[in-house]
Chains A and B, each alone.
Chain A
């Protein structure tokens, strides 16, 4: 079974600085997707960024980028120029699109990292 581990329960950053959130995962598959979701106090899970395992290039979305190390099974999220609105819980998630049948498309989540942004 796939597992996702986020080893940092809490992180903090000063506004305008850069912070990196860690995520490791365990899988025997070669083709899969990885995601970072943001959950603010409103509870809405918002997709931040997505990485396909077959792509060597790291995904980037504006101030958000990832460092995807497939051999090491590591998928960290870097937030540049942090803003107060970035404060939230961040979840790393894994998805195997080829699980077939019963598990197709299911997301497996890490435990989350609470990010605090200081003005």
Chain B
């Protein structure tokens, strides 16, 4: 695609429910990153994929968070048993390879009520 595409754009969910956030990177980009941005805050690194493998999961805040990437393309970030503190914008980014410029999607705004 022309840019990094994320869905849903906005999601409101009840506390305790599971949510899935999807990221479709720029075609051909091998590196994919997930970041979280809480209201008025900077970006917090969550996970990095190179191809289908995730060499760096160090940013995942708890075992309720998981992510996968299939076919070296689309990635899904799953949050189980959502909590109110999970409310944030979840940004996905990709780059041609890890040394190149990183391009961001518009994010998925998650609100847990």
A residues neighboring B (CB under 8 Å): 37, 42-47, 50, 91, 95, 97, 101-112
Contacts and interface: CB of A to CB of B under 8 A. Distances in A.
Contacts of B86: none
A43 B106 contact: yes
Interface of B: 31, 33, 35, 41-43, 45, 48, 50, 55-56, 58, 89, 91, 93, 95, 97-99, 101-107, 109
27 contacts: A42-B106, A43-B89, A43-B106, A43-B109, A44-B104, A45-B91, A45-B93, A46-B104, A47-B101, A50-B101, A95-B102, A101-B55, A104-B48, A104-B55, A104-B99, A105-B33, A105-B48, A105-B95, A105-B97, A106-B33, A106-B45, A106-B48, A107-B33, A107-B45, A108-B45, A110-B42, A111-B42
User: Main SS of chain B's interface residues?
Assistant: strand
